[in-house]
Structure 1
Amino acid sequence: MRIRTSLAIATAAGAVALGAFAVPAAQADEAPAAAKVSSFVNGVKADAAAKAGAKAGVRSGVRYVDGDVTIDKVTVNGNEDIVAGTSAVKTVNIYVTATDPEGIYDADAMLWHGTDFENDVDGAVIPEQEADCDYWSATSATCKITVKVDPKTDLWDSMLAGKWNVYAAAIGNDGDLMQDDSYKNVWIKRAAQITSMNAAPEPVKKGKTITATANLSRASWSYLKYYGYGSQSVQLQFAKAGSSTYTTVKTVKTSSTGALKTTATANASGTWRFYFPKNGTTSAATSAGDYVAVN
């Protein structure tokens, strides 16, 4: 969006005011997200209005959804889940492909969390810079919008983990505007990790039992620390010496504190590890491998 620095001013423009996004006082922690979304959308509308006015000479207001501009495709983070830990900022690229008979002027996108775009927004990730557009034909363009997901500011509570909405907008050279508050969904997940992996004894006689232990934890955005992830199904896997292919030996559950402990029969030398498949709120995780020689 070409007027990124004018978003705050745009909220005062009556012709483009968004009139909603009222947030109850009890939801004070959520208010900044709703305010960011409101300001962002007003800025998109103001940008389209300015472009329409520049071409038409005189024009008031803005066409919100009508016109012949279309959004053809939106790709977020390479169609992969967005995984956030407790400190590192995650850079996410959003690509918006759009078409208009008059050509594309600009496109924009953001991520938001909530149940209703106008009345219940409790999380938002907004781009801070203009889109970088590749005008690959006279009528079409693909614009890259970069957002940064900061667990310290954007993910203020762990309840934000899971499904988010992708807002996308495109503006034609004639000022036509298409915007979709939920063009598609993307999942922002809490990072998981498996630590302290150990398989023992080492070495071991063929046919004897080895004991594998580890700990599964996941990021808490509420407290910016990792805590044990209890009652989760985790796979114990094994790869024979000289092979990088792992097979699942058994599935076990973590304790209430995320601890893992199980046994298996050692029939060949190789590497043991634990693997946790992703779920709706938490990323997948793989432990370090522990090699056990069989005599």
Structure 2
Amino acid sequence: MRIRATVVAAVSGALALSALAAPAAQASDDAVSRADIAKVREAAHAASSSKAAFSARAAAYDEPYALNVTFSNFKIAKAVKVGTTNRVTAKVTYTLTHGTDVDITAFDFLTDPFLYKGSFAAPQNVLIGDDFGHCKSTSATKATCSGTIDIRPRDYELLNADAGTWKAGAWAIAFNGEDPGADDFDMGKVGYAEKGGLATTLVQRYSKLTVNASPEPVKKGKTITVTGKLTRANWEAFRYAGYTNQSVKLQFRKKNSNTYTTIKTVKTNSTGNLKTTVKASVDGYYRYNFEGTTTTPAVKAAGDFVDVK
């Protein structure tokens, strides 16, 4: 099970966290583990916090040198909708630009995307993928890289307060033949680069919406009561709970029409329930339409047909 980044926040700086917050997923040759990467990142952050910048000239035995790699053109979906049980995978791509001295085809060159909540220097939480990213060279110094962000709500990776805007980043490590498990492992021969603020996305609590219009059938001119409920994922209790005090549109479309028209706006109560009344006029479908917030995606209920006599 992966551990929330906040649990290990005191252990190391910024983005060593995402490595520590992961299982021992390994590179394709099983040579480098997430723990090895965490060790390099921790050393890099310790070095950068003790001086304005760390460089190849300044690199010492116990810290990596600044790898000649930059990241750009990071792309991810505008929103990642997460429920209460199933793993959610968000695909990402980014451009990696590197110096001619960097061999991105080496077995021990690794790169990975990540998402973080809060500031880059002190994130509240970090999300990563199950596997490292993969890059394909497009020129002598550029590559298109792809990866995933894999989220498992049942593994306590998210708190409800985590819903909202997250930022994206990427890192790269060149071990250059150094064995992290060897007694003579030389950190100074390992290159490391990272960058935050490459893009943003919304990590949202998946929503559900119901509707029921009754009685069915109904006489023309009589009152129809339309009820429903707006719920969203509770990542801490692993269930769906009412989304309170939210504006939801009641909409209607006539039979044989494809267009819904808003009749009125109704607010959910303290348990997420909706209830209002309308006068019956013609046959048609009633639905509720929630337009969403930054923490919760938009959702429409399937139309409920009412036969007017």
Normalising by structure 1, we get a TM-score of 0.73
Equivalent in the alignment of 1:73: 73
Q: Report the CA distance shift for 1:139/1:245 in structure 2 as closer, same or farther (over 3 A).
A: farther
Shift of 1:139: 3.9
Equivalent-residue separation in structure 2 for 1:216 and 1:167 (angstroms):
34
2: CA distance, partners of 1:134 / 1:258: 48
Equivalent residue number for residue 7 of structure 1: 34
Q: How many residues align?
A: 249
Distance 1:123 1:4 in 2: 27
CA–CA distance in structure 1, aligned partners of residues 207 and 212 of structure 2:
18
In the other structure, the counterpart of 1:91 is 89
Q: Within 2, Cα distance between the matches of 1:210 and 1:13?
A: 65
Aligned mates of 2:262, 2:98 — CA distance in 1: 51
Q: Does residue 194 of structure 1 match 2:197?
A: no
Post-superposition offset of 1:170: 5.6
Aligned partner of residue 92 in structure 2, secondary structure? strand
Instruction: Quote how far apart the aligned CAs of 1:82 are.
Output: 0.8
Contact persistence 1:10–1:17 (CA under 8 A):
no
Residue 109 of structure 1: which of 113, 128, 131 is its match?
113
SS for the counterpart of 1:5 is coil
1:144-190 deviation line (CA, Å, top 9, x unaligned): 11121111225342111111121123679x99865322222211111
Distance 1:81 1:152 in 2: 20
Structure 1 residues 290 and 179, CA gap change in structure 2 (3 angstroms): same
Q: Whole-Å Cα distance in 2 between the matches of residues 15 and 84 of structure 1?
A: 30
Q: Where do 5+ consecutive residues of structure 1 fail to align?
A: 21-44, 50-59
Q: Please list every run of 5 or more consecutive structure 2 residues that lacks an aligned counterpart in the other structure.
A: 1-25, 48-53, 57-62, 105-109, 177-189
Matches within 5 A, 1:148-227: 148-169=150-171, 179-195=194-210, 197-227=211-241
Quote how far apart the aligned CAs of 1:80 are: 2.8
- Name the SS of the counterpart of 2:36 in structure 1: helix
The 3 A distance-change label for structure 1 pair 176 and 8 is closer
Deviation at 1:121, TM superposition (A): 2.5
Q: Hey, what does 1:41 align to over in structure 2? A: none
Q: Distance in 2 between matches of 1:5 and 1:61?
A: 16
1:17 to partner: Cα distance: 3.7
Match of 1:124, as an amino acid? V
Measure the CA separation in 2 of the matches of 1:170 and 1:12: 14
Q: Offset at 1:92?
A: 1.0
Aligned pairs (5 A) from 1:234-273 = 234-273=248-287
User: 59, 62, 84: which one pairs with 2:65?
Assistant: 62
Q: CA deviation at 1:291?
A: 0.6
Give the 3 Å change call, closer, same or farther, for CA 13–126 of structure 1 in structure 2.
closer
Measured after TM superposition, the shift of residue 199 of structure 1 is 0.5
Change (3 A) 1:280 1:121: same
Could you tell me how far apart the structure 2 residues matched to 1:146 and 1:245 are?
A: 38
CA RMSD of aligned residues (A): 3.1
Give percent identity, aligned residues only: 37
Q: Distance in 2 between matches of 1:61 and 1:201?
A: 71
1:100-147 deviations in Å (ceiling 9; x for gaps): 464882642111223x333x3232212221323333444432211112
The code of the aligned residue for 1:63 comes to: A
Distance 2:157 2:298 in 1: 19
* 170 and 6 in structure 1: CA distance in 2 versus 1, 3 angstrom threshold: closer
C-alpha displacement of 1:224: 1.1
Matches within 5 A, 1:1-40: 5-12=32-39, 16-19=43-46
In 1: Cα distance, 2:208 partner to 2:31 partner: 37
